Amino acid sequence: MYTAQGKIDKSDTLAKHAPLVRRLALQLIAKLPASVELDDMIQAGMLGLLDAANRFQEDQGAQFETYASQRIRGAMLDELRANDWLSRGLRQSSRSVDAAVQVLEQKLARAPSEREIAQAMKLSLEDYQQLLQEIHGSQLLYYEDCESDNSENSFLDRQNGSSDRSGDNDPLQRLLDSGMRHMLVEAIGLMPERERLLLSLYYEQEMNLREIGAVLEVSQSRVCQLHSQAISRLRARLNESSWSEAA
């Protein structure tokens, strides 16, 4: 894996860890719309792997595969953002759900039910649930989702400023050290129990939709709906928290 000069052999590294790239791509694409191509994710992931090989230093105290996994996932997400696979209509629909959830949470001081969200959006419950299914996989959560309109005082800018002062330029470490992690844990804790369980099964246990449906005793399409609603709750809560922090 290393050359005579003690550096990582990039060709050997790419060949050895290609299965890791494919595995991570498959995990990610399972959460995305069918329009996203697996080959595109693998290609982006290989670039992330190459970047990891260029940057990795043994004295960082991390295993190469752990470090590379972070870079590979980051490269795939960057590819998704750059190509913006969502249609304008779907993105607007997703934002509309987020906005309705945020308004109702402020008004009710609790997590609103599906029926209440549907009524706020002037939709029947059936139409609202169909909308949730359509936007499933469209709601990757970015730092920018937590920014206010005041770009000079956005959540991201404040976190970057504090990280620059500490000399830490690792994006993952900035996320772990920032208030974002606390906000996320708090937001999940306020969600309905079934949606908390779904997120745990989906992201921690890495179960597929069929397996989650069996645990929750619902159909796969219903899992898609609940997942979309759970992500909208998170986005609304994080957006609300970042506004409060900026005030």
Domain count, the chain: 2
Would you state the pLDDT for residue 127?
94
Domain boundary among 83, 109, 124: 83
**19-33, 75-89, 121-135, range with greatest mean pLDDT:** 121-135
Average model confidence (pLDDT) across the chain: 76
Q: Name the band, by pLDDT with cuts 50, 70 and 90, for residue 168.
A: very low
Q: Name the band, by pLDDT with cuts 50, 70 and 90, for residue 9.
A: low
* Structural domain includes residue 1: no
Greater pLDDT, 140 or 128: 128
Would you state the pLDDT for residue 39?
92
- % of residues, the chain, pLDDT over 70: 70
Q: Residue 120, Cα to own-chain centre: how many angstroms? A: 26
Tens digit of each residue's pLDDT (9 = 90 or more) over 54-110: 888 765 556 888 889 989 998 998 888 777 666 667 778 888 999 999 999 999 999
| Residue 14 sits in the same domain as residue 103 | no
Tens digit of each residue's pLDDT (9 = 90 or more) over 189-237: 888 999 999 999 988 887 888 899 999 999 988 998 998 899 888 888 8
Q: Is there a contact between 156 and 147 (Cβ–Cβ < 8 Å)?
A: yes
Would you state the pLDDT for residue 22?
93
- % of residues, the chain, pLDDT over 90: 31
Instruction: Give the Cα separation of 44 and 78 in Å (integer).
Output: 8
* Structural domain includes residue 4: no
pTM, whole model, 2 decimals?
0.59
Domain boundary among 62, 83, 104: 83
C-alpha distances out from residue 126 to 97, 115, 151, Å: 15, 9, 38
Range of the domain at 15: 10-83
Q: Is there a contact between 146 and 175 (Cβ–Cβ < 8 Å)?
A: no
Instruction: Give the Cα separation of 227 and 209 in Å (integer).
Output: 10
Q: Name the band, by pLDDT with cuts 50, 70 and 90, for residue 173.
A: low
The CATH code of the domain that includes 154 is: 1.20.140
For the record, the structure tokens of 86 come out as 């969502």
| Residue 65 sits in the same domain as residue 114 | no
